[in-house]
Amino acid sequence: MSNIVAIVGRPNVGKSTLFNRLLERREAIVDSTAGVTRDRHYGKSDWNGVDFTVIDTGGYDVGTDDVFEVEIRKQVQLAVDEATSIIFMVSVDDGLTDTDQEIFELLRKSNKPLYLVVNKVDSSKEELPATEFYQLGIEKYFTLSSATGSGTGELLDQVVKDF
């Protein structure tokens, strides 16, 4: 049974940037899984010699949050069904939004390992505003800059450890 990590979150939080970063040494496998809709991208990655599949759930990102609302349950359900681990990405630039809370409520019902990742923490200046996400009631979150790659190692160390 292979390990499958889904990246879930609102449009523009940085899901595809992280996805592409995780795949930078690998060839992306796009829509290779039979019966899977085109709005999901799959790729192979590894961390410290542990192989896993990554799903970028963001094909719906072309629209606004309103468009996303229509897709949200479907995408979240697919992620929960397919994934063995879930990265829930939010953005420190936007802060905690109603849509974030809605997604989080859906995700926390699964029994799969769930990682809250606060993206766009490009420097230590953003560490303090990131604490806003404790309002979700979680004990721990990871801060990340998908743009620079900072924080990726700590996140993946934990994700791979929980496989």
Residues that constitute the known binding site for GTP:
9-16, 56-60, 119-122
Pairing of strands 85-91, 4-9: parallel
Select from ligand GDP, Mg ion, none the partner in contact with residue 17, using the beta carbon and a kind-dependent cut-off of 5 to 8 Å.
ligand GDP
Radius of gyration of the chain (CA): 15
Select from ligand GDP, Mg ion, none the partner in contact with residue 147, using the beta carbon and a kind-dependent cut-off of 5 to 8 Å.
ligand GDP
Select from Mg ion, ligand GDP, none the partner in contact with residue 11, using the beta carbon and a kind-dependent cut-off of 5 to 8 Å.
ligand GDP
Q: Is 100 in the site for Mg ion (CB under 5 A)?
A: no
Determine the residue type at 156. Answer: L
Q: Return the residue of 5, 6, 8, 13 that touches ligand GDP, per CB under 6 A.
A: 13
Q: Is 116 in the site for ligand GDP (CB under 6 A)?
A: no
Task: Report d(CA 144, CA 15) in Å as an integer.
Answer: 11
Write out the two tokens for 52. 């896993």
Q: Is 119 in the site for ligand GDP (CB under 6 A)?
A: yes
Write out the two tokens for 55. 């799903």
Segment contacting ligand GDP by CB under 6 A, of 12-20, 42-50, 101-109, 125-133 = 12-20
Task: Report d(CA 25, CA 22) in Å as an integer.
Answer: 8
Binding residues: 9-16, 56-60, 119-122
DSSP-derived secondary structure for 72-131? HHHHHHHHHHH-SEEEEEEETTT-S-HHHHHHHHHHHTS-S-EEEEEE---SGGGHHHHG
Q: Is 120 in the site for ligand GDP (CB under 6 A)?
A: yes
Q: Return the residue of 9, 43, 58, 151 that touches Mg ion, per CB under 5 A.
A: 58
Positions touching ligand GDP (CB under 6 A) are: 9, 11-17, 58, 61, 119-120, 122, 145-147
